[in-house]
Amino acid sequence: MAELTRDDVAHLARLARIDLSDAELDRMVGELGIILESVATVQQAPTDGVEPMSHPLPLTNVTRRDEVRPSLGAAAVLAGAPAVEQDRFLVPRILDEEE
């Protein structure tokens, strides 16, 4: 595997929009090098005959029946709201129309 250079780390930081100081760049060369070596080691593991999986343990989705049950009405839910409009919570706009 090719050695990771300080310029490589600076390039990755720019792509990720992370501003690293000179000291951080120097430190990250070593740390990212160790990570890449670890990934290379894992990639060498014998995986023939191993089925792909999303989780190491079998999972069962626990669900409940979708049943209509009594709940609060709109008036009760909105009673404590600071502002209401057309039976909905009214919240201040945070984005302009142009965005």
Classify residue 13: in a domain, yes or no.
Answer: yes
Classify residue 86: in a domain, yes or no.
Answer: no
Classify residue 62: in a domain, yes or no.
Answer: no
Domain that holds residue 18: 6-39
pLDDT band at 2 (very low <50, low <70, confident <90, very high): low
User: What is the rounded CA–CA span in Å between residue 45 and residue 24?
Assistant: 32
Classify residue 69: in a domain, yes or no.
Answer: no
Classify residue 26: in a domain, yes or no.
Answer: yes
Q: How many domains does the chain have?
A: 1
How far is residue 71 from each of residues 7, 63, 67, measured CA to CA in Å?
60, 20, 12
- Give the tens place of pLDDT for each residue, 11-34: 999 999 999 999 999 999 999 999
Classify residue 51: in a domain, yes or no.
Answer: no
- Give the tens place of pLDDT for each residue, 59-88: 888 898 999 999 999 899 999 899 999 989
Q: Residue 94: left if φ>0, alpha if ψ -120 to 50, beta else—which one?
A: alpha
Sign of the CA dihedral running 80, 86, 89, 92: negative
